[in-house]
Structures are given as C-alpha cells and as structure tokens.
Amino acid sequence: MISPTETETAFDPNADRLREECGVFGIYGHADAAALTALGLHALQHRGQEAAGIVSFDGTRFHSERRLGLVGDAFSEASVIDKLKGKQAIGHVRYSTTGETILRNVQPLFAELHGGGFALAHNGNLTNGLTLRRNLVRDGAIYQSTSDTEVLLHLVARSRKQNFVDRFVEGIRQIEGAYAFVGMTNKKLIGARDPLGIRPLVLGELDGCPILTSETCALDIIGAKFIREVENGEVLIVSESGIESHKPFPPIAERPCIFEYIYFARPDSIVKGRSIYERRKAMGAVLAQESPANADVVVPVPDSGVPAALGYAQASGIPFELGIIRNHYVGRTFIEPTQKVRELGVKLKHSANRSVVEGKSIVLVDDSIVRGTTSFKIVKMMREAGAREVHFRISSPPITHPDYYGIDTPDREKLLAATHSLEEMRQFVGADSLAFISVDGLYRAMGHERRDPLRPQFTDHCFTGDYPTSLTDVIGESAKQQISLLAEAG
C-alpha cells in the first residue's frame, strides 16, 4: 500500500473531486432570451466552471458567444448580451479541466444544415461516440471539435428525412449513453433525455415562455415556474404551436444517476418533489444510524459535506460545528511557486478552525472519497489542529468503478476504494474509524426500502459496477485513443 503523496493535488484545490460535464438551459419566445439564459447558466455554475456559451436566434440569423471562464465574467456586460439578439436562446456551462480546454469545444455547438441552422448543448456522455465518429469520418464528415456532442450534429445533417424532428430522432436513435440535450433551430427549441434519464432535464415556464434546463435552481433565479421533469426517453419540441412530446424509444423504467443527489445538484434544487438538501440530510441521518461514533462534535468538510453533516448531527444529537473554514477566493488553480513552499503542504482551500477541534473527538463528514489524497490531508489537518480522535463518515458508498456518462472520474486504479479494503482505506486517510453509507442505506435515504437488484431505481454503477447501457467505445477500442490529430498550439 503506497502512502499518499502530498504533491500531486497540492495546489489544484479541486483535483480530487468528481466533476460533471455540464449544465444546459434554453428558452423560447422571450424578449430577454439571452439575458435570462445568462442568469440561468449562472445558477447552474456549480455544474461547470470551465467555459460558458450562448447561442440565440433573432428570426433571421443566429448569434453565438462562447468563452472560457465563469458565466459572470463572460456574460455580465450588457454589450455581450445585446449582441445575442432574439427571442430564442440556448446556453451551456462546462466543467473545469486543466490543459485540454480549447475554445472549439465550448458549447453550444452550431452547424448550418440544409434547411437552416442548428445549435446544440449537451449534458452527459455518449458511450458510442468515438465509434460513430470514426464511421462518420470514413464517410467524409469533417469535425470542428473533439466533443462527442458533435456526432449528433453530423447524424442530423446526414439524415435524409424531410422533417427536422424526424432527422433529430433518427440521430438520437443511433447514439448510446447519457444525455440531456437542449437544441435550437430557427423555429424550434428541442429538449431530449436519454432512455434511462441518466442526466436531468426539467421543463419550466416564465411569462408563458417554455424553458428547458438541468435543475430547478435555474428556474428559481429568474422567477420561472417549474412545470415537470422531462421524462426519460422523451423528446420535447417547443414551437409556435406549443409543446409536443415525442417518445421515440420503447418504454422503460428510468434510472437517473444517483450522483446528482449525492454531489452534483445544488441543495435547493427539487427532484421528484423533494429538495436535494433534504436527501443529503437523510443520507447523513442514515449514516449516523449505520455508523455511529462516540464524539464531541460533528464537523463537515465544506461546502459539499455540510447537509449530510447536519443530518448526522441532528440524528446523533452531537453538536454541529464549523471545524473547517473554506476559503472561497480559491480559483481554478494556484500554482505553487517553489519547491520549498510545496513542502509546507499549505492548504489553500481549507483551514482548520482550531478552537472547535482542539482536544475533541470529531465526526468528520464528507460526501465521497475519490483518490483519497484530499481526505488524507483533511484528516491530517484536523489532527494538527489538535483533534483527539477523527471518525470519518462518508455519505456515499465506496467508489469502485469509473463513470462513462459525463462524470470525470479517474481511471479505476486511481480510485482508492477500487484497490483498498475498508481497513486499508482507514489507514490511508489516517482516521481512527472510517465508514461509508451502505448502498441500501443510500436508497433508504432516497425514500426506497432498498435497492431493487433486478430493476435498480437509480444508476449507481460507480458503487456497483452495474452499467446501465452498453459501453461500445470502452469495449471496442480504447477510449483513451487520441481523438484528434491536431494539437492545439494556442
């Protein structure tokens, strides 16, 4: 068992987190379409901080603005919004990676098809995207990006159907994986969710104008009304004649990704009538029942561990205290200038609140362990602040398998739980005790009696290895193969 290295993630304060691909937003028929889209994207900023884009249509031309950085940086100037003319707009936020970020991959993508323009924003990941890409290139398609999303543009462009909806449906019938699409033509706003409903998409309304977006918090920020969730396998077509629902796939029970509840969605978003905050508190409460601890205080790893920690504290009666202070001014990276400084093992994002921790037995609550390096450092920081005992409690089960549906997980061998026993993990992070919520406990917190092994209510492949779709690219050839021959020099 190797010992955790300090250096690897020392200065990218988000390196040891799961990250989702995106958030999407679209609105139809509103005079302030682009401004509302910018606000909606701002509310979805937690789903992606790398880049943001908006495409609008003004009745004649499409207008596009795609930028690296936060929504508030890219779209706060009136001059930018003013250029995005028109009553229809769709937008996209994208998660943060290092090195590979290139402007040509920032969404919404846009193509001029025979019949008119088509803009597309995608949350999710296709599991046969590379295979389709190779086939399309063989047939003469030229790609502008390395994004799997572009596959759908080419499939729609090449469809021989007359009707746009038929072309779109012909396109999505060829793709596999997880997707919540928001698209736009010169006449329509389109929403589509994969057959299992892995990624979220909701329908809302403001001033009579339909809205499609990833989470209800993007409706709340603009005072829009929540109508309903888009169903798994449903295609919604919004046009002047109203909203049509299409169901191009055979009916099948939904299996939304359980990580949206554990980690990705904003606490105030509502899914299936219950807030994410409540679900997370319930996970903490189940965890307190399953794995109690004899401790003086419950300390959350902020911010993501706070609701589960509150749930744990309320269920256990142990006081909740802010034993770790988060520095909210941490940007994407903070490069460590010198080796000497690196060795100090400084904590840019978190600092111990010594007065809470010193001399205490603490229950430390976080939502997940990925590589374990951050957990190691936080436990160490608690001990250095004087914690007598550290009982580490995790409000998700051990992550043993990578995701292929839009969550950026490390390779399997880098997942701590894939290669370590529970006791080895405890030793690795350096806690006095370590416990994860059980899979059935997680389902209980979600309001089910337990996981139905025959038809699981969620997709929980990261914990169980039970992938809900075929993984064509993974099995066929290496997903790691180089997609592009072009190394961006800029």
Site for a second copy in 105-124 (CB under 8 A): 110-114, 116-117
258 Cβ neighbours under 8 A, 6+ residues apart:
442, 446, 458, 459, 460
Name the residue type at position 157. Answer: A
Q: In the set 45, 131, 433, 438, which binds a second copy (CB under 8 A)?
A: 45
Closest CA to 215 of 458, 461, 42: 42
447 binds a second copy (CB under 8 A): no
Among 187, 246, 354, 448, binds a second copy (CB under 8 A): 354
Nearer to a second copy (CB atom), residue 70 or residue 364:
70
- Please work out, in degrees rounded to the nearest 5, the angle formed at the alpha carbon of residue 13 by the alpha carbons of 8 and 19: 95
Which structure tokens are listed for 438? Answer: 């059980």
Q: Which of 161, 272, 274, 450 binds a second copy (CB under 8 A)?
A: 274
| Residues 228-267 interacting with a second copy (rule: CB under 8 A) | 266-267
Pairing between strand 109-113 and 116-126?
antiparallel
Residue 272 within binding range of a second copy, rule CB under 8 A: no
Q: Is the dihedral of CA 447, 453, 454, 460 positive or negative?
A: positive
> Is 170 an interacting residue with respect to a second copy (CB under 8 A)?
no
DSSP state of 414: G
DSSP 107-144: SSEEEEETTEEEEEEEEEEESSHHHHHHHHHHTT---S
Bridge partners, 24 (sequence order)? 92
Q: What is the rounded distance in angstroms from the CA atom of residue 146 to the CA atom of residue 350?
A: 35
- Residue 250 or residue 337: which is nearer to a second copy going by CB? 337
435 binds a second copy (CB under 8 A): no
Listed ranges 1-9, 122-130, 344-352, 454-462: which one lies at the site for a second copy (CB under 8 A): 344-352
Query: 416-432: b or e for each residue (b if 16 or more CB lie within 10 Å)?
Result: bbbebeeeebbebbbbb
| Tokens (6 digits) for 18 | 């799961």
Judged by CB under 8 A, which of 20, 21, 50, 65 binds a second copy?
Answer: 65
Q: Is 157 in the site for a second copy (CB under 8 A)?
A: yes
**68 lies in the binding site for a second copy (CB under 8 A):** no
Among 190, 262, 270, 437, binds a second copy (CB under 8 A): 270
| Nearest partner of 442 among 390, 371, 368, judged by Cα | 368
Q: Of 39 and 416, which has the nearer Cβ to a second copy?
A: 39
Query: Whose CA is closest to 237, among 286, 305, 167?
Result: 167
Least distance to a second copy, CB of residue 352, Å: 7
Residue 432 marked in a binding site: no
Say whether residue 331 binds a second copy (CB under 8 A).
yes
Under the criterion CB under 8 A, does residue 140 sit at the interface with a second copy?
Answer: yes
Residue 11, SS3? Answer: coil
Distance CA 112, CA 118 (A): 6
Asked if 209 is an active-site residue, the reply is: no
CA–CA gap between residue 204 and residue 462 (Å, rounded): 31
Does 367 count as an annotated binding residue? Answer: yes
Tell me if 225 contacts a second copy by CB under 8 A: no
Q: Does 221 bind a second copy (CB under 8 A)?
A: yes
What is the length of the chain? 490
The residue range among 120-128, 219-227, 242-250, 434-442 that interacts with a second copy, by the rule CB under 8 A, is 219-227
Eight-class DSSP state of 315: H
Q: Where are the beta strands (DSSP E) in 305-421?
A: 324-326, 350-352, 361-366, 389-394
- Could you say which residues in the range 466-485 bind a second copy, by CB under 8 A? 482, 484-485
Phi-psi region of 233 (alpha: psi -120 to 50; beta: other; left: phi over 0): left
CB-hemisphere CA count at 13 Å for 401?
13
Q: Which of 17, 19, 42, 383 binds a second copy (CB under 8 A)?
A: 42
Size of site (CB under 8 A) for a second copy: 106
Among 1, 252, 346, 422, binds a second copy (CB under 8 A): 346
Stretch that binds a second copy, among 189-197, 291-299, 300-308, 366-374 (CB under 8 A): 300-308
Of positions 3, 78, 250, 413, contacts a second copy by CB under 8 A: 78
15 lies in the site for a second copy, by CB under 8 A = no
Task: Determine if 101 is a binding residue for a second copy (CB under 8 A).
Answer: no
CB of 464 to a second copy, least distance (A): 28
Q: Quick check: 208 binds a second copy (CB under 8 A)?
A: no
Binding flag, residue 338, a second copy (CB under 8 A): yes
Grouping H, G, I as helix, E, B as strand and the rest as coil, residue 427 is: helix
* Token duo for residue 483: 């997609």
Is position 275 annotated in a ligand binding site?
Answer: no
Catalytic choice (22, 209, 217, 257): 22
Query: Binding to a second copy by residue 71, rule CB under 8 A?
Result: yes
- Of 244, 268, 452, 477, the one binding a second copy by CB under 8 A: 268
Please give the angle made by the CA atoms of 443, 445 and 448, to the nearest 5 degrees.
45
**Nearest-approach distance from CB 133 to a second copy, in angstroms:** 10
Per the annotation, binding residues are 304, 366-367
- Residues annotated in a binding site for Mg(2+): 304, 366-367
Q: Which residues carry out catalysis? A: 22
